[in-house]
Structure 1
Amino acid sequence: MAYRYRCGECGYSTPWTTESDAEDRAVSHYADRHPDIAPGGTVQINRKDANSVGCLPVLGMAVLLLLIVASCQR
Structure 2
Amino acid sequence: MANRYWCGECSFKTPWLGESEGLRRQIEHYADRHPGTPPGGQVETRRRGSAVAHGCLRLTAVALTLLVVVAACHR
- Name the TM-score, length of structure 1 as normaliser: 0.65
**Pairing 1:33–2:38 present:** no
| Structure number with bigger Rg | 1
Q: CA deviation at 1:36?
A: 1.6
Q: Name the amino acid aligned to 1:7.
A: C
Q: Give the match for residue 44 of structure 2.
A: 44
Equivalenced residues, count: 53
Helix, strand or coil for the counterpart of 1:43?
A: strand
Query: What is the letter of the counterpart of residue 37 of structure 1?
Result: T
Matching residue of 1:15: 15
Question: How far, CA to CA, are the matches of 2:36 and 2:25 in structure 1?
Answer: 17
Instruction: State the SS of the aligned residue for 2:29.
Output: helix
One-letter amino acid of the structure 2 residue matched with residue 3 of structure 1:
N
TM-score between the two structures when normalised by the length of structure 2: 0.64
Distance in 2 (CA, whole Å) between partners of 1:36 and 1:17 is: 25
Q: Tell me the residue number matched to 1:66.
A: none
Gaps of 5+ in 1: 56-74
Equivalent-residue separation in structure 1 for 2:12 and 2:46 (angstroms): 18
